[in-house]
Structure 1
Amino acid sequence: MQKRIAIIGGGIVGATAAYYLSQLPGGQNVKVTLFDDGVGQATSAAAGIISPWLSKRRNQQWYRLAKAGADLYPELIHDAKLGTDVYQQTGTIVTRSDDSDLEALFALAQERRQDAATMGDVSALSATEVQAKVPLLTTSHPGVFISGGARVDGAALVAGLLKQATSQNLTIRRERVTLDNQGNVVTSVGLKQFDRVIVAAGAWVKELLAPLGVLADVRPQKGQLIELAVKDFESQERMPVVMPEGERDFIPFGHGKLLVGATHDDEGKFDLKATPEVTADLLGSAQRLMSGLTAESVTATRVGTRAYTRDFAPFFGPVPEHEAILVASGLGSSGLTTGVQIGRLLAGSALYGGTPDWSDYEKPLTTYLATSAE
């Protein structure tokens, strides 16, 4: 008898979980249905930087999770047969204007490199050397270069993973669904029962879990970035991503496309309209790094809704007192880094059951989930 698994949310966690449910041993005995209405998804609006090693977050559980995600990417991209238009280890550069700050950053990189082979080579660069690696830049500070850092296109990654999964055991339903108080999925054609349900709907997790009497510590945050048409250097597809001090991230893609962003707007919440003032701010940041850009250089804007918890850490796993329901949320702006590892872990749990110990990666779920009676 086939095991039936539902996934609510087709972003980075849901898509990765669907992919692994189609690839893990036993996947041939599973029927997976993914529900997503495609509205507001943070992943599809995002262009991510996979370079967690220089983060100064004190949360070591988050760092181990992010490091595991970065380690997983090369294997995932290879196995899913995705190309460099989706993910590429171009390297990342983090700049600093103060010499002592730069030295401290370089020392941190060397320390982290000892147990993070995926980082690749680490080197300190002068401002001139930074510009030589990223010819688009006309202004720069010195920086630290990490050869293993990468860029990823969220929308292309999700599309590629779901395409692989649909060729195996996945059906995609483009609709918004809810849960009832028994954990059944309420669809446009009535209730649907599943053996396991993975709720990976980002900032919408709070309303999805409410019928179960579960209160989730999740809040929405609006994020916006811009695409710019720039000179198409021959080396642009391999240009490192730049994380410039005091400016927005600078993400070169091939064929004359540059992405800049993203912003963090707590007041915007679920608003998916591009804000002209934010577009101007993003363009201004790009102009301080690269001359010759004008408003006409902006070819598109992307807007999505991230999910955050009060301590900015993600949570994932079986919902207490509702073990058939797995949940993930709170990934914030590092979702493309941590989401692939979370999706893989949830897929294994949904397929094989058991009581996994993920304490290396997160606090207890009761930190973020409470019952209505509490």
Structure 2
Amino acid sequence: MHNILIIGAGAIGLQSARLLAQAGCTVTLLDQSAVGSEASWAGGGIVSPLYPWRYSEAVTALAHWSQDFYPRLGDKLIEEGGVDPEVHVTGLYWLDLEDEAEALAWAKREGRPLRQVEMAEVETAVPVLRHGYRHAIHMAGVANVRNPRLLKSLRAALEVLPNVEIREQCAVEGFLREDGRVVGVQTAQGELRADAVVVAAGAWSGELLKSLGLELPVEPVKGQMILFKCAADFLPAMVMANGRYAIPRRDGHILVGSTLEYEGFDKTPTDEALESLRASAIELLPALADAEVVKHWAGLRPGSPDGIPFIGPVPEHEGLWLNCGHFRNGLVLAPASCQLLTDLLLGQAPIVDPAPYAPALRLRRAQ
């Protein structure tokens, strides 16, 4: 495989392109709009599933590999392209969980640094937290990454590589097939051919595969977020309660999210979500009542069964590969997902067992 075409220039597409190009492939990266302008830009950037103990082993395997790799990835991207993705290690507190015992049992089983902490300790560490929470668990070392900066950082790393071409505003209209093999795509800018075509188009991946008579169970799931601006030291750690979270950036921006809405491809922010998110923010951190909401936005996650991504070749369509369907964990799982795709495409030993992600058993023929 020397000439690779990747559909979708979000975090998954960008990181896939980076790894394949560094391995010596010639890569063309296409996006129907602008690089990184969809779910990758819109998410919170916590480098952990929100409730990691509630996921399957398939998600856990990718999450652990990625979490342990992220700090090195940040350093590598600065070195390669000169743009800091702002990997910010703060740790994460979960408050008043109903399944705290299950979380602690999972951490012991998986060897993860999750521990029960006294509320007095939490309130000392996070003075702006509302008083009244009864119990907490804490995982040290959990980072968040500043999504827009990560996307700029990945793009900068690609732009210094001579074997990568990025084409924005280049929507794919269909696949080119010869003798049962996918050999490229048809776009508004003409035909593009490749040895392999990788679909990494997030929530739009299922729509693309319909033209091949395939039904990929990936659907758009809207999530809305709000952003406050506070002092740089306002919130020293990420906190989560009642399904909502607050994430501090280095410069004092605080993200609060998120909603989970099945509204098709509509990503219009709503007043109802704004009020709900602001109320959750104030419930968690009362001082935010006096802070201005500086931004409110929505994005479309690529929802998939059990949040398990599709990674690998598509049976009966030689030349077609998937790296999509990461649901709420695209940024979390990107390093491992893209390394696994690269391993499989290039015939290398895979970093994790690829079987749980293989499209072969999980794709259905469209009716």
TM-score w.r.t. length of structure 2: 0.87
Structure 2: how far apart are the matches of 1:324 and 1:306? 26
1:137 is matched by which residue type in structure 2?
L
Aligned residues: 354
Paired position in structure 1 for 2:337:
342
List alignment gaps of at least 5 residues for structure 2.
none
Q: Is the 8 A contact 1:64 1:361 kept in 2?
A: no
SS of corresponding position for 1:242: strand
* Alignment pair present for 1:48 and 2:45: yes
Paired position in structure 1 for 2:151:
158
Structure 1: how far apart are the matches of 2:124 and 2:84? 22
Paired position in structure 2 for 1:370:
364
2:107 is matched by which residue type in structure 1?
A
2:67 is matched by which residue type in structure 1?
A
Counterparts in 2 of 1:346 and 1:103: CA distance versus 1, 3 Å? closer
Paired position in structure 2 for 1:20:
19
Shift of 1:87: 1.1
Structure 2: how far apart are the matches of 1:181 and 1:279? 44
Shift of 1:85: 5.4
Q: Is the 8 A contact 1:40 1:270 kept in 2?
A: no
Structure 1: how far apart are the matches of 2:65 and 2:361? 22
Shift of 1:212: 2.0
CA RMSD of aligned residues (A): 2.7
Paired position in structure 2 for 1:240:
237
Paired position in structure 2 for 1:3:
2
Paired position in structure 1 for 2:119:
127
Pairs within 5 Å for 1:127-276 = 127-139=119-131, 141=133, 142-168=135-161, 169-175=163-169, 176-182=171-177, 183=182, 184-233=184-233, 236=235, 239-244=236-241, 246-266=242-262, 268-276=263-271
- The percent identity for this pair of structures is 31
1:59 is matched by which residue type in structure 2?
S
State the Cα deviation string for residues 142-190 of structure 1 (Å, max 9, x = none): 3122112111122221221121022012221112223325132222221
State the Cα deviation string for residues 2-52 of structure 1 (Å, max 9, x = none): 93211111112111111212323xx2xx32111111386111111221234
Structure 2: how far apart are the matches of 1:321 and 1:296? 55
Structure 1: how far apart are the matches of 2:21 and 2:349? 21
1:64 is matched by which residue type in structure 2?
A
Paired position in structure 2 for 1:62:
59
Shift of 1:251: 0.5
Deviates more, 1:333-342 or 1:174-183: 174-183
State the Cα deviation string for residues 254-279 of structure 1 (Å, max 9, x = none): 2221000121101x221121111101
Counterparts in 2 of 1:370 and 1:111: CA distance versus 1, 3 Å? closer
Structure 1: how far apart are the matches of 2:334 and 2:22? 17
Q: Which of 107, 110, 114 lines up with 1:109 in the alignment? A: 107
TM-score w.r.t. length of structure 1: 0.85
Structure 2: how far apart are the matches of 1:103 and 1:354? 39
Paired position in structure 2 for 1:325:
320
Shift of 1:295: 8.1
State the Cα deviation string for residues 264-317 of structure 1 (Å, max 9, x = none): 101x22112111110110000001012233486100013111112234322111
Counterparts in 2 of 1:107 and 1:316: CA distance versus 1, 3 Å? closer
Counterparts in 2 of 1:225 and 1:318: CA distance versus 1, 3 Å? same
Q: Is the 8 A contact 1:40 1:272 kept in 2?
A: no
Shift of 1:357: 9.4
1:195 is matched by which residue type in structure 2?
D
Shift of 1:112: 2.5
Paired position in structure 2 for 1:32:
27
SS of corresponding position for 2:78: coil
List alignment gaps of at least 5 residues for structure 1.
none
Structure 1: how far apart are the matches of 2:45 and 2:131? 23
Shift of 1:231: 3.4
